[in-house]
A and B are shown apart, each in its own frame.
Chain A
């Protein structure tokens, strides 16, 4: 009898395993099982600090997805998968044919090739001057060798995307970007961004850095972070081979609406770009756990590149 009872529990436990696997993830991250990657809808009021500005502080990883994963990269590329039957390009509204899956499971090679395609289907591409078109194409197609952020170097700005943590005072902000393991292993980055009315240091007086020199100000309820003074040893998006010069100028805009934070970055680099490029808006969800913290990133150690089938990032 007791044996049967234990076995029943084992059976029940095994039956529940898939659901439990869905709910697991990195500690401190809230995981939400979804079959879409469309931006989360805001809910709740937008809290404000005593000085009246929106309170952007918090851990902005409420969706719990891997930042280099397919859903996020497709979203970053501007493809919103809205349901099992419909998707669209966020930038121009173009409909993308969508097919409910009749099966899951494919070998790693097919999955990698599919991932390479899926991360590059969006219409929102920076337009370089024609003499750089082939260079960008080749960068992207050989990114597993050419990406300057390979081997645990910092991703840089604006490639870092939405900060996972924002600390806010009346006169400065702290942005933290945890390091990423996996396919594109990158180092943890942090930025201390003054918002006290100071001006930029003249560009010629700055030694280029990965995150540049940033200053912030409010335009209404939108925080505008203005950065220059970069070194040229980064690409400005995760996928695409988008190189830049030391004269790149980046303007990030962060807007909180309830429990969501919308981030865009505009890149100006007239030496190589035909026109400024603005990223597809990325929407992060506040971690609903009021006790959420960022755990220490694992020490960055590049171990994937030697096992990857494709030459480009996937």
Chain B
């Protein structure tokens, strides 16, 4: 009897130790654990900034990992958002009832906006990639001889790129990329991220407000040069959900309201979002490359 009790105790010990061992592996996966402490938005230090930005990325479903078929390889999580299509309806500029399609990519940075006012024969397609902006008479115009016209619109490069970087995903990516130039503060009880944009948008500062779930709810942009009024924007995001027909666990706003230089330019309700990194490409038409002063 005494031997049996000892045996059963040892079995329990063995099972417990084995479970501890498995749990420890499952927790760390061999990677250095990050701090799980809640962020203190007011401190503004590097650890706090990292926690706030990680929380913002996480709230949007950007931080992803998967071990399917991984075998002995256990990778860290990465920012999994690159391309996306947003379909919406609402008020766009002066059109009260328009279909709005936004195709975007962050690597390389590109965006194509198609606006089709209901009942109107004309629709507009505005595209930007890196240093090039152009308008398309049809999707992909100017790439194949005889298939549509691509009209260079270099003056709009900054304003169009700003649309990309003021979307919630762009805010998180750009604030991470800005490193220690990004500051975190508290305004009226809400966490606020402030950071400068770079490259073509150098000289523009972004201020983004997060809600208690760390979702981006308001984005304001201010250029150093006050003459660039088209870069003074204020965008509000709300009604976040996974709007995909293919569910991705990437959250997107269901309602977007934007003002540019104080003037309302967008008030749209999102219908669907393809956030599954869909096939979206933005090749620059040869005539646009040739026309661009940025290409010299």
Residues on A with C-beta less than 8 A from B147 are 130-131
Contacting pair A17 B21 (CB below 8 A): yes
A15-B30 contact given A97-B173, A114-B64, A121-B277, CB 8 Å threshold: no
A70-B76 contact given A3-B6, A3-B7, A94-B107, CB 8 Å threshold: no
Contacting pair A111 B75 (CB below 8 A): no
State which residues 158-188 of B face A: CB under 8 Å: 173, 176-177
A70-B283 contact given A7-B7, A121-B107, CB 8 Å threshold: no
- B262 within 8 Å of A (CB atoms): no
Contacting pair A69 B80 (CB below 8 A): no
Residues on A with C-beta less than 8 A from B81 are 117, 121
- A311 within 8 Å of B (CB atoms): yes
Q: How far is the CB of A145 from chain B (nearest CB, A)?
A: 13
Question: What is the number of residues of chain B that contact chain A, defined by CB distance less than 8 Å?
Answer: 73
Q: Which residue of B lies closest to A22 (CB)?
A: B72
From the candidates B27, B54, B76, B108, name the one contacting A35 in the complex (CB within 8 A): B76
Q: Which residue of B lies closest to A34 (CB)?
A: B73
What size tier do the contact residues of chain A reach? 35 or more
Contacting pair A15 B21 (CB below 8 A): yes
Q: How far is the CB of A60 from chain B (nearest CB, A)?
A: 16
- A303 within 8 Å of B (CB atoms): no
Contacting pair A35 B10 (CB below 8 A): no
- A84 within 8 Å of B (CB atoms): yes
Residues on B with C-beta less than 8 A from A182 are 69
Q: Which residue of A lies closest to B173 (CB)?
A: A97
- A100 within 8 Å of B (CB atoms): yes
A35-B276 contact given A95-B177, A117-B250, A130-B144, CB 8 Å threshold: no
Contacting pair B248 A117 (CB below 8 A): yes
**Which secondary structure dominates where chain B touches chain A?**
loop
Bound Cα distance A96, B57 (Å): 13
Residues on B with C-beta less than 8 A from A197 are none
Contacting pair A14 B277 (CB below 8 A): no
Contacting pair A31 B72 (CB below 8 A): yes
Bound Cα distance A50, B249 (Å): 56
Q: Which of B32-40, B41-49, B197-205, B251-259 contacts its partner?
A: B32-40
State which residues 63-103 of A face B: CB under 8 Å: 64-66, 68-74, 79, 81, 83-85, 87, 89, 92, 94-103
Q: Which residue of B lies closest to A65 (CB)?
A: B71
Q: How far is the CB of A98 from chain B (nearest CB, A)?
A: 5
Residues on B with C-beta less than 8 A from A129 are 140, 143-144
- B210 within 8 Å of A (CB atoms): no
Q: Which residue of A lies closest to B64 (CB)?
A: A114
- A53 within 8 Å of B (CB atoms): no
- B26 within 8 Å of A (CB atoms): yes
Q: 6 A-B Cβ contacts within 8 A?
A: A3-B3, A7-B10, A11-B17, A31-B72, A34-B72, A133-B279
A65-B34 contact given A118-B78, A312-B276, CB 8 Å threshold: no
